[in-house]
Amino acid sequence: MKGRQILVDSINGQEAAALMVDGQLDDFLLDSNRSFPRPGAIYRAAADRPLKGMHGMMLKLGDGQTGFLKDARGVKPGERLTVQISTFAEGTKAAPVALRLLFKSRFVIVTPDAPGINVARSIRDEEERVRLLDLAYEAFDGIGHGLILRSACAGQSREDILADISQMLNICSDILADQSTEPQLLLDAPSAGNMAWNEWTTPAPDAFIEEDGCFERHDLWQHIEALNAPKVALDGGAYMYVEPTRALVAIDINTGADFSPAAALKANISACRTLPRALRLRGLGGQITVDFAPLAKKDRRQIEQVIKAAFKKDSVDTMILGWTPLGHLELQRKRSRLPLELK
């Protein structure tokens, strides 16, 4: 398949979404059948107990689930809060939450109690920015919330954008008006299909296919099943292993059969460019340690430039932390997804 296609199907009864770009699997989402707080979900929470020395507060989310509010200054045990899950919990830890709520759709983000209207910086055409701002100010006249017009708004019809704004405002109003006091889920996180529609449709796909069996009809299974294996092919016959452990994700880069002087640098550069996609497809985050093929210190700056450029294009926040005494590169990646479980 050439071009950009989004396919939504199911795997073992769970919704799954795949993004194919020029015949290559570029992103993949799979819902889980486990019950746990997921990023984007909104809860009525009850403050439980403070964590001394950390200014944090443990929260009850209902159904035996717990959350952790990092900055809880002024929050008292027993107080009721409306919170949003920010990232997946690590292991059995409490899910990190935020007090600032975001209601995100394909075109807009509504920010309660944070007034102001903004247009995505990626929309550079001045006439288009003016059109979108005029539309937004008209739709938000007398409304105290904030609004961000996302890059997907560019070139879209007035009617479609206004409909999206109206839908998000209605959801926001319903959540803020909820008077429940018991800890409970108020708004679930988006499904894999909804996430695909919200996040992958800019630029516009050549096809959006949502039907049972579409993965098989479009030969996606070979791409999906390959994610069970840690080995990832690189340019020129090189390869790397992407292996999650309990403590971190280990990346091991090898040159393959090429033993020429330039082989190691070529393999390392190819790995740096491939790594964001390999992590994204497998849903891996947290601490990441990269063990490069033999790398001279004089080449470290080039490697840093390549890997920073690669992760800059990625949808998940990743920080380049630096080199260890053994010559490994350490990264820290946001846990925006769960590790992929296909088996």
Residue pLDDT, tens place only, 131-157: 999 999 999 998 999 999 999 999 999
Please tell me what DSSP assigns to residue 227: G
How many domains is the chain built from? 4
pLDDT tens digits, 297-307: 999 999 999 99
Report the percentage of the chain scoring pLDDT > 90: 89
Report the percentage of the chain scoring pLDDT > 70: 99
**pLDDT for residue 261 is more than 80:** no
Provide the residue range defining the domain that includes 91. 42-99
- Residue 37 located in a structural domain: no
Q: Higher model confidence: residue 261 or residue 323? A: 323
User: Residue 186 CB: number of other CB atoms within 10 A?
Assistant: 19
pLDDT tens digits, 94-130: 999 999 999 999 999 999 988 999 999 999 999 999 9
Please tell me the predicted confidence (pLDDT) of residue 1: 63
- Residue 198 located in a structural domain: yes
Q: Do residues 326 and 236 share a domain?
A: yes
What predicted TM-score, i.e. pTM, was given to this entire model? 0.92
The C-alpha atoms of residue 331 and residue 116 are separated, in whole angstroms, by: 34
Q: Do residues 25 and 49 share a domain?
A: no
The C-alpha atoms of residue 337 and residue 311 are separated, in whole angstroms, by: 16
Q: Which pair of tokens denotes residue 235? A: 């340019």
**pLDDT for residue 91 is more than 80:** no
Q: Do residues 236 and 329 share a domain?
A: yes
Rounded to an integer, the average pLDDT of 219-231 is 95
- Residue 342 located in a structural domain: no
- Residue 343 located in a structural domain: no
**Which amino acid, one-letter code, is at 267?**
A
Q: Which pair of tokens denotes residue 45? A: 């929470």
Q: Which of 45, 50, 171 is nearest to 108 (CA)?
A: 171
